[in-house]
Amino acid sequence: MMAAGSVAGWMQGQEARALLTRLARVKPFALHETMVPAAAPAPATQVAVEQCLARGRRVLHDQVHRYLRWLQGPEGRRASPAEMQRRFTFLRLRFNSVLSQFDLFADVITQRSEHETGVWLSGLDVVAADALRLPGGYFEIPPVLCYLDRGHGAAIRRARTRLPGGGENPVAIIRVPRERMVGSGIASSLVHEVGHQGVALLGLVDSIRLLLQGLQKGSGEDRIAWQLWERWISEILADFWSVAKVGVASTLGLIGVVSLPRPFVFRVSLDDPHPMPWIRVKLSCVMGQALYPHTQWERLARLWESFYPTTGLDEETRRLIATLEEGMPGFVGLLVHHRPKALRGRSLMEVMSVTERQPDRLTAYYQAWRASPARIQAASPSLAFAVIGQARANGEISPEEESRTIAQLLTHWALRSTLDTSAICAGRSKMPVTTAYTN
């Protein structure tokens, strides 16, 4: 019979080799995912994901082989079974981390094989990248990868943040609620999450938080209000980005998300980074009015109040709401005129394309595009969503036509991106795609 140390060494060697066999079965997505070319992630996104996963597999492969050499060497043969087990346990944890990262991306990429949905997701990738873009080159746009999931809220795992088990996330992964497909409301959720990425790349949370902290020197309810704005600032800035990019479509989509039972609409949670839903919608209207002055924002605010009247609330909640409402114009003014270092002296409002997204201009775009549908395809995707959202607010487009138009646009953007990439790879200029796919 072998000694305890010999048995332990043999057993752990077998387990380590078994890890290697399972690791070898983790193949690149390009070898086992089936999807039409228009549904595939952009080449830069695919390369970033595959390189990230290959790097993790390579590191683990080397660590397992080092462990096997250690077991077979003099130090390993003298080690206690407990030490052998300790070292192997860390290897197995690393192996599970590699699998977790693979599964994270697999859940996203596998949806690209779904009929229609896969192509629409590719179109959403294009929309997200466009909504992240600011004229002026203030940051490098990371690859973006969208997917659908259950629930009514969107979420983002930002690029350049830590992955489960370690390592840097190479792409921005945006989860979109499946129930939002396909209508203009998807723009509100998508661009809000894009806003989180843009805000992080510009370092806006920290720069504005310093200003808000300086305004908390007073006492009473005003101080509490500034403290709440600071607590909520990350979500508020993402909402600001969404309103700036897609206009009233953002606020309408937000209303759809936060239309909850009355107790939730007025609930203030110290652990929640989101403003209470009632305040969040009102603030979205105030931001819209600051960026795109129009009577529609006041109408939307009054409509929201009619859905959730403040009558019947306790005195403390009514006082807090009144204080926050009173301070909204000043707070939003601070946001739109903020000049962070990253923007090289320009304000937030100045770097957003507010001129072409004024409500009257969006309405004019819609009228012109109805006469010449191909023109909407030539517009930037975020502007197209802003136009459709404005038409929805004006009552000029039915839900059925809206859904049909957006589905066609997402397909068109996916196809155009794929053909442009193919043409560039072939050494030609970008290929024109003049008509949207129609059912």
The answer to whether 433 touches 416, Cβ cutoff 8 Å, is: yes
Residue 275, pLDDT score: 94
Query: Which string of b and e fits 184-220 if b means at least 16 CB within 10 Å?
Result: bbbbbbbbbbbbbbbbbbbebbeebeeebeebeeeee
Among 395, 368, 399, 175, which residue's Cα sits nearest to residue 384?
368
Residue whose pair of structure tokens reads 């059912």 in the numeric block? 439
Residue 90 in tokens: 């860390």
Q: Which has more confidence, 201 or 49?
A: 201
- pLDDT value at 152 more than 80: no
Residue 439, pLDDT score: 33
Residue 422, pLDDT score: 57
Is residue 201 very low, low, confident or very high in pLDDT (cuts 50, 70, 90)?
Answer: very high
How does the average pLDDT of the chain come out, rounded?
A: 86
Residue 219, pLDDT score: 65
Sign of CA dihedral 409, 413, 415, 416: positive
Please give the model's pTM, rounded to 2 decimal places.
0.85
In the predicted model, what is the mean pLDDT of residues 312-341?
A: 93
Residue 436, pLDDT score: 40
**What whole-number percentage of the chain has pLDDT above 70?**
92
Residue 5, pLDDT score: 57
d(CA 301, CA 322): 14
d(CA 153, CA 267): 17
In the predicted model, what is the mean pLDDT of residues 136-164?
A: 87
pLDDT digits over 345-404, tens only? 999 999 998 999 999 999 999 999 988 878 888 899 999 999 999 999 999 999 889 989
d(CA 294, CA 128): 26
- pLDDT value at 21 more than 80: yes
For 382, counting Cβ atoms within 10 Å of its Cβ (0-12 exposed, 13-18 middle, 19+ buried), the class is: buried
Q: Which has more confidence, 59 or 236?
A: 236
The answer to whether 360 touches 367, Cβ cutoff 8 Å, is: no
**429 φ/ψ sector (left φ>0, alpha ψ -120 to 50, else beta):** beta
Residue 99, pLDDT score: 81
Q: Which has more confidence, 406 or 52?
A: 406
Phi then psi for residue 291, to 5 deg, are -85, -40
Phi then psi for residue 148, to 5 deg, are -105, 150
Sheet with 144-149: list strands edge to edge. 144-149, 172-177, 155-157
Residue 426, pLDDT score: 56
**Range name among 7-21, 115-129, 270-284 with the lowest pLDDT average:** 7-21
In the predicted model, what is the mean pLDDT of residues 171-175?
A: 92
pLDDT digits over 411-429, tens only? 999 988 877 765 555 555 4
Amino acid in the structure at residue 50:
E
- pLDDT value at 309 more than 90: yes
- pLDDT value at 437 more than 50: no
Scanning 308-435, the segments in alpha helix (DSSP H) are 315-336, 348-351, 359-371, 374-378, 381-394, 399-425
- Name, in order, each residue with C-beta under 8 angstroms of 303's C-beta and a sequence gap of 6 or more: none
